[in-house]
Structure 1
Amino acid sequence: MNSLAVILSLIALVVGLGLGWLLRGKSVAPLAAEKADLADKLDIASAQRNAALQELVVAQERTAQAAELAQKLETERSAREVAARELAALRSDTQARAEAFEAQIAALKDAKEQLSAQFSEIGGKLLHQAQSHFLERADQRMAQAHEKSEAQLKQLLHPVNETIQRYDQKITQIEQQRTEAYGILRGEIESMKTGQEAVRAEAQRLVDSLRHAPKARGRWGEQQLRNVLETCGLSEHVDFETEVSVEGEDGRLRPDAILRVPGGRALVIDAKVSLNAYQDAYGAESDEEKKRFLSAHTAAMRAHVETLGRKSYADQFDEAPDYVIMFVPGEHFLSAALEHDPQLWDYAFGKRVLLATPTNLIAIARTVAAVWRQEKMADEAKRIGALGKELYERLAAAAGSLKKLGNRLNGAVADYNSFVGSFESRVLVTGRKLRDLNIETGGKELEELEPVEALVREPASAEAVRALPEALPDAAE
Structure 2
Amino acid sequence: MDLSVILTVVIALGMGALIGWLAGSRAGAGGAQVIDSLRLQLDEVIKERDANRSAASELAILRAAQEERERSFDQQLVALREAKESLSAQFHEIGGKLLGEARKAFLEQAGEKFTQAVMPVEALLKSYQEKLQTVEKERVDHYAGLREAVELVRTGQGQVRDETRNLVNALRSSPKARGRWGEQSLRNVLEQSGLSPYADFRTEVSVDGEDGKLRPDVVVRLPGGRQLIIDAKCSLNAYLDACEEVDDDKRLAFLRAHVMSIRNHAQQLGSKAYWAQFGDSADYVVMYIPGEHFLTAALEQDDGLWDWAFERRVLLATPTNLVAIARTVASVWRQETLNEAAEEIASLGKELYSRLATMAEHMSRMGKNLATANTAYNQMVGSFESQVFTQARRFEALGAGSAKVIETPPMVEASPRPLTKLAATPATANEGVA
User: Which is bigger in relative contact order (C-alpha 8 A, separation at least 6)?
Assistant: 1
Structure with greater Cα Rg: 2
